[in-house]
């Protein structure tokens, strides 16, 4: 259990650096800081996925909470407003926080004028529903009356945008017993508030000029206006508990107890998929947050708060999120779902937020698909599933890559895979600002060759399994030629490691982590005698306590800080910024080369110590997307990234670290 005392909760700067996340398996979520101060436009009590897992909308931004003790009002909320050229924190409810914990969802404890109150926020799996409860834990004898007032503040806007005051909002409330319903604009979902309040009082006010400090620092729109339709009043001294179910579905307030109980039981079952180690248990619960519905099957959200489901991220994360935790059926469902979106031999790079046509601008997502399938077969031996559902698609993919597909992707004369056209970023190092592709990597990127060779060996073995020996022989010849060409072409004797990209006579000698995949994949493409040198070069220049740098700090293009506006951040994204997910393949490569014994496993485990401590910072119980290349390696990007969690979880479970 992650827990903080009053010292941290009442220090607004420290508290604002700790964010909680609740998800619903649909792509929706609830999230904020441990004080309830929203510092992002992506913070909300109900961020609903209108067409799962896409079209996410911030419906309920937050609740303004006032506790009235013996007639005196105390605001529990915390907001940052702009006014007269400077920012103001008002009210300052964090000064009454005595503690916060994840148990397993966010639980806040307040001490106010002799009254101890506990608030909990739980999102319900499979619904755009959040349950908020307030419980009186105790009060002193001089407390005669205690009332709670709740003012829901709504936005009803796309999660990438902000709301602003306008006269077109529908102010009416539809009321029935213990239920209030609003629809601020036509065509948007109704939002239902089931409650046990003693009174519902119409309001109809705009709250103006909320500031989101992180969006300001990121150079994005950071001001918002929110609307309040009504005020709920609860006599907490008499009832002892106030309950609110906020949902796009209609619920009765009596449903709350059962919903909470079932959700606690569900999370207990999820935790049972872990290996038992503390870090494994925490990351197993985190892993479940990324698995979402896409129609009748499953997909993977790449990261919270702002990513949808990406093909590359899904295939890299799949083994850790599902296979290492024994959730085999979910793995099969994800692989099946993506097989239906193959186009011209390519998996989608990402599904768009509006749910329309996927984007196919990736060369590696499709190749990672083969590695995910290989791991499924190695774990389960389920050749029948692959033969009946995926084999023909896999053969088609290879043939399209051999003969050529989008963006110049084709098998070259030397048997290696060429990819790239000007203006398009095809590898995982895909940052782009306007027309500027930061790391274009056109030609033959090193990890693409490793993935290509691995895919060829996978399809060779599958062809033998299904009895298509002619195809197996053909794919085997392709793989053999790629192996010989790679080891002849990519070795950089001056640095004792691999070139990052080869394009004709051009050799990019930048020392990057991509060369690790020549060793870590199921079928390594690098000759064994060169592997140790690659491992040591990467270890010396790229390894940090939180992952691998994307560029050596000795390189003139190195950027040690991921900060500032869009241009500043994106230009550093793969130019030194640390990525935690790379620890997975690095540890796997290290153990392959140095052997899997007690000493090497203990050393590999020591590389995860900082990651375990990180679970109590940034995204609580989760692993951030990136960290600064320079110490102290400040976290950045998404507070919860699928492949960060998945790859750490995978190597912990597979290698008993």
Task: Report DSSP letters for 56-94, one per residue.
Answer: EEEEEEEEEEEEEETTEEEE--EEEEEETTEEEEEEEGG
Q: Quick one: three-class SS letters along 193-229?
A: EEECCCEEEEEEEEEEEEECHHHHHCCCCCEEEEEEE
Give the pLDDT score at 83: 73
Nearest alpha-carbon partner for 246 in 500, 47, 470: 47
CATH of the domain at 96: 2.70.98
Q: How many Å separate Cα 355 from the centre of its chain?
A: 19
114 and 249 together in one domain: yes
239 and 276 together in one domain: no
Evaluate whether 77 touches 94 at the Cβ level (below 8 Å): no
Size of the chain in residues: 657
CATH of the domain at 370: 1.50.10.10
Domain count of the chain?
A: 2
Evaluate whether 22 touches 121 at the Cβ level (below 8 Å): yes
Beta-carbon count within 10 A of 144 CB: 10
Give the pLDDT score at 276: 78
The helix or strand, by DSSP H or E, that contains position 552, with its residue range, turns out to be none
Q: Could you give the residue ranges of the DSSP H alpha helices within 247-326? A: 256-271, 278-288, 311-321
Spans of the chain, pLDDT less than 50 = none
**Beta-bridge mates of residue 150:** 65, 232
Report field, pTM of the whole predicted structure over 0.85? yes
Rounded CA separation 112/76 (Å): 9
Among 246, 266, 286, residue at a domain's last position: 266
- Integer distance in angstroms from the first to the last C-alpha of the chain? 21
- What contacts 24+ positions apart, CB below 8 Å, involve 176-179? 178/252, 178/253, 179/250, 179/252, 179/253
Summarize pLDDT for 1-55 with one digit per residue, the tens: 899 999 999 999 999 999 999 999 999 999 999 999 999 999 999 999 999 999 9
**170-209 CB burial, b ≥16 within 10 A, e <16:** eeebeeeebbbbbebeeeeeebbbbbbbeebeeeeeebeb
Domain assignment of residue 202, given as a range: 3-266
424 and 555 together in one domain: yes
550 and 437 together in one domain: yes
388 and 243 together in one domain: no
Among 213, 247, 266, residue at a domain's last position: 266
Give the pLDDT score at 355: 65
Q: How many Å separate Cα 195 from the centre of its chain?
A: 32
Evaluate whether 322 touches 328 at the Cβ level (below 8 Å): yes
Q: Which residue has the tokens 């295939």?
A: 315
27 and 95 together in one domain: yes
14 and 90 together in one domain: yes
Rounded CA separation 501/507 (Å): 6
The helix or strand, by DSSP H or E, that contains position 37, with its residue range, turns out to be none
Give the pLDDT score at 399: 98
33 and 175 together in one domain: yes
192 and 321 together in one domain: no
Among 227, 251, 266, residue at a domain's last position: 266
**Beta-bridge mates of residue 32:** 20
292 and 261 together in one domain: no
139 and 208 together in one domain: yes
177 and 254 together in one domain: yes
Give the pLDDT score at 302: 97
């Amino acid at each position: 259990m992650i827990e903080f005392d009053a010292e941290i909760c009442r220090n607004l700067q420290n508290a604002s650096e700790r964010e909680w996340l609740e998800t619903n398996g649909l792509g929706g979520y609830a999230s904020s800081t441990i004080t309830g101060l929203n510092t992002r436009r992506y913070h909300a009590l109900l961020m609903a996925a209108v067409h799962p897992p896409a079209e996410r909308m911030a419906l309920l931004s937050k609740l303004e909470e006032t506790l009235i003790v013996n007639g005196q009002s105390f605001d529990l909320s915390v907001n940052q407003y702009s006014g007269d050229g400077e920012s103001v924190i008002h009210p300052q409810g964090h000064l009454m926080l005595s503690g916060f914990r994840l148990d397993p969802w966010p639980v806040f404890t307040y001490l106010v004028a002799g009254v101890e109150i506990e608030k909990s926020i739980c999102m319900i799996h499979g619904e755009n529903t959040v349950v908020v409860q307030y419980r009186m834990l105790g009060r002193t004898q001089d407390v005669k009356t205690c009332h709670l007032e709740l003012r829901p503040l709504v936005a009803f806007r796309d999660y990438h945008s902000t709301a602003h005051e306008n006269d077109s909002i529908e102010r009416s409330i539809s009321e029935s017993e213990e239920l209030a319903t609003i629809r601020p604009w036509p065509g948007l979902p109704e939002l239902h508030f089931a409650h046990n309040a003693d009174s519902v009082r119409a309001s109809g006010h705009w709250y103006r000029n909320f500031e989101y400090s992180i969006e300001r620092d990121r150079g994005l729109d950071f001001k918002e206006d929110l609307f309040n339709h009504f005020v709920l009043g609860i006599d907490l001294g008499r009832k002892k508990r106030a309950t609110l179910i906020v949902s796009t579905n209609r619920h009765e307030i009596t449903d709350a107890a059962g919903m909470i109980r079932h959700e606690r039981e569900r999370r207990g079952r999820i935790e049972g998929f872990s290996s038992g180690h503390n870090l494994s248990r925490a990351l197993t619960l985190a892993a479940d947050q990324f698995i979402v519905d896409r129609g009748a099957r499953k997909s993977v959200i790449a990261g919270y708060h702002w990513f949808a489901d990406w093909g590359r991220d899904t295939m890299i994360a799949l083994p850790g999120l599902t296979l290492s935790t024994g959730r085999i059926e979910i793995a099969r469902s994800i692989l099946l779902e993506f097989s239906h979106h193959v186009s011209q031999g390519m998996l989608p790079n990402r599904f768009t937020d509006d749910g329309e046509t996927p984007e196919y601008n990736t060369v590696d997502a499709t190749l990672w698909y083969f590695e995910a399938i290989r791991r499924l077969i190695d774990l389960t031996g389920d050749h029948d599933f692959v033969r009946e559902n995926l084999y023909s698609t896999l053969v088609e993919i290879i043939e399209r890559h051999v003969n050529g597909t989008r963006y110049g992707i084709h098998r070259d004369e030397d048997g290696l895979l060429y990819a790239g056209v000007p203006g398009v970023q095809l590898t995982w190092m895909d940052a782009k600002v306007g027309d500027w592709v930061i790391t274009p990597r056109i030609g033959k990127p090193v990890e693409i060759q490793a993935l290509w060779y691995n895919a060829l060996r996978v399809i060779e073995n599958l062809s033998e399994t299904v009895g298509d020996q002619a195809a197996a022989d053909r794919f085997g010849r392709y793989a053999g030629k790629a192996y010989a060409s790679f080891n002849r072409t990519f070795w950089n004797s001056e640095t004792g490691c691999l070139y990052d990209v080869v394009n004709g006579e051009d050799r990019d000698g930048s020392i990057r982590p991509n060369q690790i995949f020549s060793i870590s994949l199921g079928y390594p493409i690098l000759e064994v005698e060169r592997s140790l040198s690659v491992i040591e070069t990467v270890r010396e220049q790229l390894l940090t306590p939180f992952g691998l740098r994307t560029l050596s700090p000795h390189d003139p293009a190195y950027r040690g800080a991921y900060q500032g506006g869009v241009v500043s951040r994106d230009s550093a994204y793969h130019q030194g910024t640390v990525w935690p997910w790379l620890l997975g393949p690095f540890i796997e490569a290290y153990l392959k080369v140095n052997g899997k014994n007690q000493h090497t496993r203990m050393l590999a485990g020591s590389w995860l110590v900082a990651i375990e401590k990180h679970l109590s910072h940034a995204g609580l119980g989760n692993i951030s997307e990136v960290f600064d290349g320079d110490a102290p390696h400040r976290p950045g990007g998404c507070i919860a990234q699928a492949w960060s969690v998945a790859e750490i979880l995978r190597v912990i479970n597979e290698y008993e670290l």
